[in-house]
């Protein structure tokens, strides 16, 4: 079955549904990124403080306490499950775009690696392996770049004429 470029031949109703889904999904994803920026300042020290606490820092503007076992397991569990579903759906849509096979495979597979690396890394950071902060940042950036690229490609190809 030939699915490369199938997105361009879908009926208008399906294209509208997919377009609306990608827009709403993107709003949710970018809101999550704003939350990360607010809670950790997107810096290694901010990430560490968010999960390991900063109660030893008398000059801290905002006091953070180390996350409990239950909080960390809930965070890792919820994010891995929800992100797996998000990237399964986005990957399914990427699979029907007209795209170079290697790039398509990367955009389908990479987010799953990044989800495990990012949230597994947060768990390892929480256990005291502080250098995982950098792995979390790199994998989080890769996951975000993959999401941006995939959703952009999907959205653009939704409204292209077949064969373009």
What does the domain layout of the chain look like in residue ranges?
11-42+68-158
Model pTM? 0.91
**Tokens standing for residue 28:** 């949710």
Total Cβ atoms within 10 A of residue 36:
16
Tell me, what's the pLDDT at 164?
A: 65
Q: In the prediction, which pLDDT does 41 show?
A: 64
The pLDDT value given to residue 53: 85
The per-residue pLDDT for 108 is 98
Tens digit of pLDDT per residue, the chain (164 long)? 789 989 999 999 999 999 999 999 999 999 999 988 887 767 888 888 889 888 877 777 778 889 999 999 999 999 999 999 999 999 999 999 999 999 999 999 999 999 999 999 999 999 999 999 999 999 999 999 999 999 999 999 998 887 66
* Cβ atoms of 42 and 36 closer than 8 Å: yes
Taking Cα atoms as reference points, which of 97, 94, 95, 145 lies closest to residue 118? 145
DSSP state of 3: -
pLDDT score at 113: 98
* Other beta carbons less than 10 A from residue 97's beta carbon: 22
Cα separation, 15 vs 18, whole angstroms: 5
Buried b (16+ CB within 10 A) or exposed e, 62-83: eebeebeeeebeebbeeebeeb
Q: 135-148 burial, b if ≥16 CB within 10 A, otherwise e?
A: bbbebbebbbebbe
Is residue 113 within 8 A of residue 156, CB to CB? The reply is no
How far apart are the two ends of the chain, measured CA to CA in Å?
20
Compute the distance between CA of residue 29 and CA of residue 104 in angstroms, rounded to an integer.
21
Identify the CA nearest to 90 among candidates 68, 107, 65. 107
């Amino acid at each position: 079955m030939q699915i490369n470029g199938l997105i361009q031949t879908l009926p208008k109703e399906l294209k509208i549904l997919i377009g609306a889904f990608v827009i709403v999904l993107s709003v949710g994803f970018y809101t999550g990124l704003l939350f990360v920026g607010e809670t950790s300042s997107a810096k290694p020290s901010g990430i560490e403080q968010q999960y390991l606490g900063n109660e030893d820092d008398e000059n801290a503007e905002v006091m953070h306490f180390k996350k409990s076992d239950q909080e960390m397991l809930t965070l890792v569990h919820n994010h891995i499950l929800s992100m797996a579903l998000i990237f399964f759906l986005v990957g399914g849509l990427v699979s029907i775009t007209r795209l170079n096979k290697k790039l398509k495979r990367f955009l389908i597979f990479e987010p799953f690696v990044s989800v495990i690396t990012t949230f597994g890394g947060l768990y390892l950071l929480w256990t005291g392996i502080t250098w995982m902060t950098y792995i979390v940042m790199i994998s989080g950036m890769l996951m975000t770049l993959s999401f941006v690229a995939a959703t952009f490609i999907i959205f653009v190809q939704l409204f292209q004429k077949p064969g373009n």
